[in-house]
């Protein structure tokens, strides 16, 4: 098990190197210029050129990449061109909101979607199954921001139960923290619930048709133990896969959700950085996202091997 | 004790039914949504309006313009000027202190002005005429010029970036082309760097050591009395969210609501919606004068004949006709230098056939015309769409390039031919406050290679600008403005697409909000 995990960790190193080079090249060749944005609309072309020089943006690709890579290897992701704050500090400010949003969404999604999928499979063809699938189709079809606006209109503007926007750190109390996250989590969770519920239903239907389930029923086992003890464990590999893949979906969805609900998370940080061409921030966040994604995939792979020992061989 | 299902349900119901979300709670906290993300605070190195607006709370200038554009003493007690306008002496008022507790001295003033003079157009003119900028003592300093400069007070008190902000000497010594890293000023509010979350929140805290002037506040002039302990800028990138937050009482003041949401906000009795800046904005169609077809003035005039300002303004302002007016002027309507001399081609019915003929005379033969449109900004997107339609009507082959503002901002500085990474047309707009006279008006400069993007070359416009700088009285200034307007239309420096204003919106319990080219925080209070 440990050798398997070690091999997988080592395999991520070249992936990270490639991601770093790719992102740097993309930004280098992409149009746009942070100097023009710093200078503002009233500045002349000469002003912009001088700001470019002062930022070192006129230097050749390899020198800039080498310098950046050296700093990254030394644990320094650089400094924002605009705010002059270290990228690590900027990311640090944003980790808690994004992590809160993603973890709560994951929790809500798995907690709701798996039972729904199991129920739909157990009652395949019934109105419950159709209702769950209708919800799944809606969850997939309606964009996150539309769900967000509708929820904000109903629960914040009309009922005045929850805030429209913002984030309260958990250090200021769990309830204020939750109040700010309810609407974003439900908005972001809708698509994820739909995805997991569908996959769970499909995987469960396959397992429920197998001989050992029939045997379990013949032995007189109740529906709940059959579904949740015998069937779900064997149906869990595709479910775990889709949860892992869904983390990428969550990262993308978090960008939109954070914008709609003005949550100061990493998604908004990177969108703002892209619009302003704040290269060190874009590079730092992209690197972080890729590390997270690689780690999640690693975790999923390791979970496979726990769920199905044949994979370890 | 066990927590049952019913207990959990009760807890959830209690959570949801809790009192309505905190309205902008403490009366001494103002929650403000600025027009854009505050990415830095250096209004000398950068000219973004949002940066200028934040900087005006943290730093002060020696003079400040009032709502009649008359510069009044702010950090200075007053001045003396020689009869030939070559020697200007100033004296700081006593008791000025920086946020770090250090007194403001002439050392700080001289270093700050030196940095500003590198970046600002008026500063550069002063620098070019400067024999010496010298300290008299800790509170007195003097400009000695080799040529008269009558507009010194306006230069030191103007509200357009780059601003002559007075910073501690150690900060003012920063390269003028680099952003400062420390935000210490002597203004009424101090910036809380430790609470700054760029892209989300910026906090300004009352500076207890600030001593406002005795005169009543009037834009940048007079006493800047703050009625808040904290001003929190919340950056809300989504207009729908900002609108909802304002209605819900989570914010107090929204600087620039989009026109689409204005009817909704106007229908809410808890809100006030009003024109933000009486000086408004001038829409701009900017052509590249370096390359065909617009290197030929006849091609530029052809566009002048085809541009329909009502079409542009309808696209920008939606159905709200109160927000805009046509203008055959490069100067802000309603201000002293406003004139429509020479602007006849922009008035009356549009003549597409004559425009086509003129284009043909200019040698245009269906070549591709690159129109860069920043589609992430509502105003430029609307104007770009109207231009694409208009160019089609006069037979031009339009290459509509949908880009983001970051790309347009970078690419417009390229002088390469359009086919090699350059461009032919882009849209922007100029704040009316920047178009009141030639000093802050970078876009009017027509000095060829050194001019603003598009690089118009019009000796007549340049002569007019020089005449305005040298004008000894108001009549001479007006005459110079007329000459500039005529020449700018003759050579088509750019095409004004109309004059438009924007709204601001605030909660009803906020009093003292004034109309100005920038949000004026002093004097605002909660009732």
Give me the DSSP letters along B434-467: GGSSSSS-GGG--BGGGSSTT--B-HHHHHHHHH
> What whole-number distance in Å separates Cα of residue B331 and Cα of residue B329?
5
Q: What is the pLDDT of residue A47?
A: 84
Best mutation target, B32, B39, B242, to test chain A (most A CBs within 10 A): B39
Give me the residue from B45, B199, B430 closest to A269, CB to CB.
B199
> What whole-number distance in Å separates Cα of residue B165 and Cα of residue B144?
20
Q: What is the pLDDT of residue B450?
A: 86
| pLDDT > 90 in chain A, percent | 47
Q: Within a domain: residue B24?
A: no
B199/A156 Cβ within 8 A? no
Residue range B480-496, pLDDT digits in tens: 999 999 999 999 999 99
Mean pLDDT for the stretch of residues B355-368: 96
Please check whether residues B312 and B340 belong to one and the same domain.
Answer: yes
Q: Which chain B residue's Cα is nearest to A44?
A: B452
Provide the β-strand partners of residue A181: none
Residue range B32-75, pLDDT digits in tens: 999 988 988 999 988 888 999 999 999 999 999 999 999 999 99
Q: What is the pLDDT of residue A11?
A: 80
Residue range B368-406, pLDDT digits in tens: 999 999 998 889 999 999 999 999 999 999 999 999 887
**Chain A residues close to B22, C-beta within 8 Å:** 163
The per-residue b/e assignment along B376-414, b for 16 or more CB within 10 angstroms, e otherwise, is ebbbbbbbbbbbbebbeebebebbbbebbbbbbbbbbbe
Q: How far is B199 from chain A (nearest CA, A)?
A: 7
Please check whether residues B270 and B303 belong to one and the same domain.
Answer: no
Q: Within a domain: residue B19?
A: no
**Chain B residues close to A37, C-beta within 8 Å:** 39, 48, 406, 409
Given a cut of 50, whether residue B11 has pLDDT beyond it is: no
Q: Within a domain: residue B222?
A: no
Please check whether residues B492 and B516 belong to one and the same domain.
Answer: no
DSSP, residue by residue, B297-321: HHHHHHHHHH--HHHHHHHHHTT-G
Q: Within a domain: residue B148?
A: yes
* Strands (E) located in B211-327: 230-234, 253-254, 271-275, 281-287, 324-325
CATH of the domain at B360: 3.10.105.10
Please check whether residues B306 and B254 belong to one and the same domain.
Answer: no
- A293 near B CB under 8 A: no
Residue range B313-344, pLDDT digits in tens: 999 998 888 899 999 999 999 999 999 999 99
Residue range A58-103, pLDDT digits in tens: 888 889 888 888 988 888 899 998 888 999 999 999 999 999 999 9
Q: Within a domain: residue B163?
A: yes
Given a cut of 70, whether residue B19 has pLDDT beyond it is: no
Whole-prediction pTM = 0.88
Given a cut of 90, whether residue A294 has pLDDT beyond it is: no
B241/A49 Cβ within 8 A? no
In this structure, the number of other CB atoms found within 10 A of the CB of residue B304 comes to: 20
Please check whether residues B495 and B508 belong to one and the same domain.
Answer: no
Cα dihedral B337, B339, B342, B348, rounded to 10, equals 150
Collect all residues with Cβ–Cβ distance below 8 Å to B464 and sequence separation of at least 6.
Answer: B438, B480, B481, B483, B484, B487
Please check whether residues B486 and B519 belong to one and the same domain.
Answer: no
Give me the residue from A36, A264, A275 closest to B197, CB to CB.
A264
Please check whether residues B270 and B202 belong to one and the same domain.
Answer: no
Q: How far is B81 from chain A (nearest CA, A)?
A: 30
Give me the residue from A82, A164, A268 closest to B39, CB to CB.
A82
Q: Within a domain: residue B431?
A: yes
Given a cut of 70, whether residue A215 has pLDDT beyond it is: yes
Q: What is the pLDDT of residue A312?
A: 62
> What whole-number distance in Å separates Cα of residue A62 and Cα of residue A222?
66
Q: Which chain A residue's Cα is nearest to B428?
A: A41
For chain A, list the domains and their CATH numbers: 90-312 (1.10.3720.10)
Tell which residue, A9, A98, A100, A97, has the closest CA to residue A297.
A9
> What whole-number distance in Å separates Cα of residue B47 and Cα of residue B440?
11
A264/B199 Cβ within 8 A? yes
Residue range B208-246, pLDDT digits in tens: 999 999 999 999 999 999 999 999 999 998 999 999 999
Please check whether residues B266 and B329 belong to one and the same domain.
Answer: no
> What whole-number distance in Å separates Cα of residue B291 and Cα of residue B454?
9
Please check whether residues B375 and B478 belong to one and the same domain.
Answer: yes
Mean pLDDT for the stretch of residues A187-198: 93
Structural domains counted in chain B: 3
Best mutation target, B241, B271, B434, to test chain A (most A CBs within 10 A): B241
| pLDDT > 90 in chain B, percent | 84
Tokens describing residue A127: 């109105």
Please check whether residues B247 and B295 belong to one and the same domain.
Answer: no
Mean pLDDT for the stretch of residues B297-322: 94
Which of the pair, A22 or B65, is modelled with greater confidence?
B65
Q: Within a domain: residue B453?
A: yes
Please check whether residues B481 and B360 belong to one and the same domain.
Answer: yes
Q: Which chain A residue's Cα is nearest to B404?
A: A275
Provide the β-strand partners of residue B271: B507
Given a cut of 50, whether residue A305 has pLDDT beyond it is: yes
Tokens describing residue B180: 């400062």
Please check whether residues B125 and B51 belong to one and the same domain.
Answer: yes
CATH of the domain at B103: 3.90.76.10
Given a cut of 70, whether residue A150 has pLDDT beyond it is: yes
Give CA A81 to chain center in angstroms. 26
Give me the residue from A39, A161, A259 closest to B237, CB to CB.
A259
Domain range spanning residue B255?
235-277+503-526
Given a cut of 80, whether residue B21 has pLDDT beyond it is: no
Q: What is the pLDDT of residue B157?
A: 97
Q: Within a domain: residue B27?
A: no
* pLDDT band with cut points at 50, 70 and 90 for residue B465: very high
CATH of the domain at B513: 3.40.190.10
Residues 195-254 of A with CB under 8 A from B: none
């Amino acid at each position: 098990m440990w050798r398997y995990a070690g091999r997988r960790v080592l395999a991520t190193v070249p992936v990270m190197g490639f991601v770093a080079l790719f992102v740097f090249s993309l930004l280098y060749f992409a149009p746009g210029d942070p100097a023009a944005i710093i200078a503002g609309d009233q500045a002349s072309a000469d002003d912009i050129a001088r700001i470019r020089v002062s930022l070192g943006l006129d230097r050749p690709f390899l020198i800039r990449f080498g310098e950046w890579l050296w700093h990254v290897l030394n644990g320094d992701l650089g400094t924002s061109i605009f705010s002059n704050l270290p990228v690590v500090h900027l990311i640090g400010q944003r980790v808690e909101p994004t992590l809160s949003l993603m973890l709560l969404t994951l929790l809500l999604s798995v907690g709701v979607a798996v039972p729904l999928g199991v129920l739909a499979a157990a009652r395949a063809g019934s109105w419950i199954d159709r209702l769950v699938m209708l919800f799944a189709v809606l969850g997939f079809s309606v964009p996150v921001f539309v769900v967000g606006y509708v929820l904000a209109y109903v629960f914040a503007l009309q009922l005045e139960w929850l805030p429209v926007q913002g984030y309260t750190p958990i250090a200021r109390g769990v309830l204020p923290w939750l109040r700010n996250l309810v609407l974003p989590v439900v908005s972001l969770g809708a698509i994820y619930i739909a995805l997991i519920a569908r996959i769970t239903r499909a995987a469960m239907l396959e397992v429920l048709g197998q001989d050992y389930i029939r045997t379990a029923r013949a032995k007189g086992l109740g529906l709940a133990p059959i579904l949740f003890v015998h069937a779900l464990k064997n149906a869990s590999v595709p479910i775990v896969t889709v949860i892992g893949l869904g983390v990428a979906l969550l990262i993308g969805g978090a960008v939109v959700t954070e914008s709609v609900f003005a949550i100061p998370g990493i998604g908004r940080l990177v969108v703002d950085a892209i619009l302003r061409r704040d290269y060190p921030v874009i590079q730092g966040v992209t690197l972080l996202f890729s590390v997270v994604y690689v780690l999640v995939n690693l975790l999923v792979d390791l979970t496979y091997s726990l769920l199905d020992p044949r994979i370890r061989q | 004790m066990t927590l049952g299902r019913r207990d959990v349900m009760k807890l959830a119901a209690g959570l949801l039914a809790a009192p309505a979300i905190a309205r902008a709670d403490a009366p001494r906290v103002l929650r403000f949504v600025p027009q854009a993300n505050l990415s830095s605070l250096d209004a000398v190195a950068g000219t973004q309006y949002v940066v200028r607006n934040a900087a005006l709370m943290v730093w002060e200038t020696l003079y400040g313009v009032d709502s009649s554009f008359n510069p009044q003493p702010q950090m200075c007690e007053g001045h003396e000027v020689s009869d030939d306008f070559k020697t200007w002496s100033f004296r700081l008022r006593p008791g000025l202190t920086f946020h770090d507790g250090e007194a403001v001295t002439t050392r700080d003033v001289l270093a700050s002005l030196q940095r500003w003079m590198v970046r600002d157009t008026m500063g550069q003119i002063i620098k070019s005429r400067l024999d010496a900028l010298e300290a008299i003592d800790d509170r007195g300093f003097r400009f000695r010029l080799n040529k008269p400069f009558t507009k010194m007070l306006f230069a030191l008190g103007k509200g357009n970036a780059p601003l002559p902000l007075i910073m501690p000497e150690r900060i003012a010594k920063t390269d003028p082309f680099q952003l400062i890293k420390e935000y210490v000023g002597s203004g009424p509010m101090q910036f809380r760097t430790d609470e700054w979350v760029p892209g989300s929140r910026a906090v300004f805290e009352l500076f207890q050591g600030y001593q406002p002037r005795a005169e009543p506040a009037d834009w940048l002039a007079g006493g800047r009395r703050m009625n808040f302990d904290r001003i929190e800028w919340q950056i809300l990138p989504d207009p729908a969210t900002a609108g909802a937050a304002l209605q819900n009482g989570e914010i107090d003041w929204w600087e620039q609501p989009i026109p689409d949401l204005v009817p909704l906000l106007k229908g809410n009795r808890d809100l006030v919606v009003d024109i933000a800046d009486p000086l408004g904005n001038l829409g701009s169609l900017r052509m590249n004068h370096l390359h065909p077809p617009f290197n030929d003035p006849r091609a530029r005039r052809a566009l002048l004949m085809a541009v329909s300002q009502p079409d542009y303004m309808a696209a920008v302002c939606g159905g709200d006709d109160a927000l805009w007016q046509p203008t055959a002027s490069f100067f802000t309507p309603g201000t002293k230098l406003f004139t429509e001399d020479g602007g006849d081609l922009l008035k009356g019915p549009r003549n597409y056939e004559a425009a086509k003929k003129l284009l043909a005379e200019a040698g245009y033969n269906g070549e591709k015309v690159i129109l860069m449109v920043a589609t992430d900004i509502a105003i430029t997107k609307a104007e770009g769409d109207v231009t694409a339609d208009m160019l089609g009507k006069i037979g031009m082959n339009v290459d509509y390039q949908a880009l983001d503002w970051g790309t347009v901002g970078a690419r417009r500085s390229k002088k390469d031919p359009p086919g090699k990474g350059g461009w032919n047309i882009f849209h922007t707009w100029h704040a009316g406050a920047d178009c009141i006279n030639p000093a802050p008006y970078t876009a009017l400069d027509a000095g060829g290679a050194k001019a603003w993007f598009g690089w118009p070359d019009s000796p007549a416009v340049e002569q007019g600008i020089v005449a305005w700088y040298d004008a000894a009285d108001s009549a001479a200034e007006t005459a110079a403005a007329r000459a500039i307007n005529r020449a700018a239309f003759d050579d088509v420096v750019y095409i004004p697409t109309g004059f438009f204003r924007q709204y601001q919106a605030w909660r009803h319990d906020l009093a003292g909000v004034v109309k100005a080219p920038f949000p004026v925080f002093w004097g605002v209070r909660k009732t």
